[in-house]
Structure 1
């Protein structure tokens, strides 16, 4: 469990105990956001880009964006905690880590010899929640799914993208995607005899990942460059083989 750190509210001087959040890295290792000691910043205005921070996984070396830690004081003040952000690295270093930075630099995943040949993937930079859906649609087209369209009137199933033989959901929130969302998408795909694919910005809860593996549902995490990364074996297989009809 992550070690708690003391945080003092700059408005009322009340001291709180804050436990840094832990997220599941795509490699499967738990990643705890490293909180820096020092003064905190009062949050008066929140923007999309300021809500994320780059952190490097100590297990696999991948550099991904995760929700910026915040703390709400009972006095009504919200503070943003300083985080040790992951440094940028050279292309040669990134090419050996297999992390998110490497895929973002080349614009494509390393393909096994049996993989479908594709041109380089050109990501869509994410600045808003709508951009996340656009990036996912572009990626599915790159994988080989055609006629992708956005579901403007979001159904209770949570489907955001639809195409021939494919339904996809995109979670742009700062909380890890839960198991219920994964199961609902799988049931929707089952009813339409379609492949179900999930994209998430903040990753997945452990039980959601386990359930997706059981259902053979591909999971991807997104970074703010708009480059999805596979989280489980079904996602790796989808990248390698493409849509079922390919």
Structure 2
């Protein structure tokens, strides 16, 4: 509903005399960017009044460039964000991810080196679930949990069932220069998947699984969780840094928009 969103945006000032704020511009940039109209979103930022803070708009644009693999505009957005917020790790990580998705491995490595040189640290992804008054935490590829062997074994069984249902791993979420098979193996070890299967294995059938994550859930884990909810006949509540996701019978409450 891009046209509807743009219509509301321009009617604010023209019909109601309400001047768009920084947040309004960021929303429209996000709307255009998600719809693939990245160049138009970039132009809108350039047309913003000089007195407005463009940080949120540039951030939205950078995220869109990651989705649609727009390297050149992504570089422009990142440079502006490096100037505005030089200590925010997510800007560097997103640009590195854009380079990795485009298989520009040297540039991706350079960004990571720049982060290290500047002392900018990325918060590691972590998911957790409460069971028997105890919080169980997982990180990607975690093998330290006492049930790790059981968890990975169950994930393999689930993966086979998911594939039969039509699931295809989204290996674009693995930003390493490795072959496809290894990428799929890395996806299986994502922290939210480990926390979810822990909940399934340690709770009675039909019990709602509640997991939290400190970062945004990746595209592959989001898609996989939809399949897991249907195969296991479980309601799964996943709270990431953006919102609550309620998975039930193969669907998510966010409508795949988060």
Name the TM-score, length of structure 1 as normaliser.
0.31
* Rg comparison, structure with higher value: 2
Q: Which has the higher strand share?
A: 1
Q: Which has the higher contact order (CA 8 A, sep 6+)?
A: 1
